[in-house]
Chains A and B, each alone.
Chain A
Amino acid sequence: MGHKALRRLTILFIDSDKNAHEKLQQALGEGFVVQGVVSIAEAKRVLSIKVPDVLISEVWVGEESGLELCRYVRGKAAFKCLPFMFLTSLSTLQDKVAGFEAGTDDYVVKPFDARHLQARIRLLVRIKRLEQHAGV
């Protein structure tokens, strides 16, 4: 039992900077599969085909607002339990409050520590499972 590997998690990552996709995959390592997209429209298209384990987005995706994507996800029953995280360089209190008001589950400020981020993503998945089953 103890020797079983942690489940490989699929991440849909929305960031207009393609280099950021590669960086995130490198930081998270083999336990995570990062699918990067550069626009909110593309993110919605991917979500309509297959729901990932976790959705991670920048707050600004080019000229588009990640907050709008967050509200879209929170407004769909099918994505009620989908963990949503902002991974962003925006770090003011107002930015964070806006993120949580839009419905994000977590808000991580760059630069991030890879080990720390891996742990937070896995724990977030567990928290959403608890919310789903125990109503916490």
Chain B
Amino acid sequence: MDSGNAVKKVLVIDDNPTIVELIKYAVSLHGSYQVSVAYDGVQGLERVYAEQPDCVIIDVKMPRMGGYQLVRCLRGDPRTADTPLIILSAMTREEDQMAGLLSGADEYLTKPFKPTALNEAIERVLRLTPDERQSRTEYLVRTQSERE
């Protein structure tokens, strides 16, 4: 991953070309991200390993590999366990949001989205440290796990 003032790389993974264009437009308003795109989960996974993006924006319902699976797949590999991940989904139920966060996403945003909200989320996840991410995960374990 890049550090300091280098241009940050954002990878968008969504099978809907219209949504992809909206996301690219929203992200362009920030002005300093280099955006690449993948149109299904497997292609997204390929791009993650090839490009090592600084942040990945992931849809949930996608062909070949769904968004939750993709998030778990990335979190389960030491090479990508600390990559900032944002789910951007049309699924708005609280349970869906919880499934995304339990899978390992740093943020869960719903469609339709405001460009400012997306850019603020990107800023937040780029600032997250591995320790902060681990603390969030452990908080989820404490609050969501079954007890005796």
Contact = CB atoms under 8 A, between A and B. Distances in A.
B78 interface: yes
A7 B75 contact: no
Interface in A58-93: 91, 93
Interface stretch (A21-29, A33-41, A119-127): A119-127
A125 B146 CA distance: 9
Interface string B61-100: 0001100110011011111010000000001010110110
A107 B72 contact: yes
Contacts of A109: 76-79
B145 A126 contact: yes
Interface string B117-148: 00000000000000000100110110011111
Contacts, number: 96
A127 B141 contact: no
A104 to B, nearest CB: 9
Given A7-B145, A97-B65, A111-B78, A127 B102 contact: yes
B103 interface: yes
A49 interface: no
A12 to B, nearest CB: 18
Contact of B77 (A7, A91, A130): A91
A115 B142 CA distance: 13
Given A108-B77, A109-B78, 13 more contacts: A4-B148, A6-B141, A93-B46, A96-B73, A100-B73, A116-B81, A119-B134, A120-B72, A120-B104, A126-B102, A126-B146, A127-B68, A130-B95
8 nearest interchain CB pairs?
A134-B95, A108-B76, A4-B147, A136-B99, A7-B146, A109-B77, A122-B145, A123-B102
Interface of A: 4-8, 91, 93, 96-97, 100, 105-109, 111-113, 115-116, 118-120, 122-123, 125-127, 130-131, 134, 136
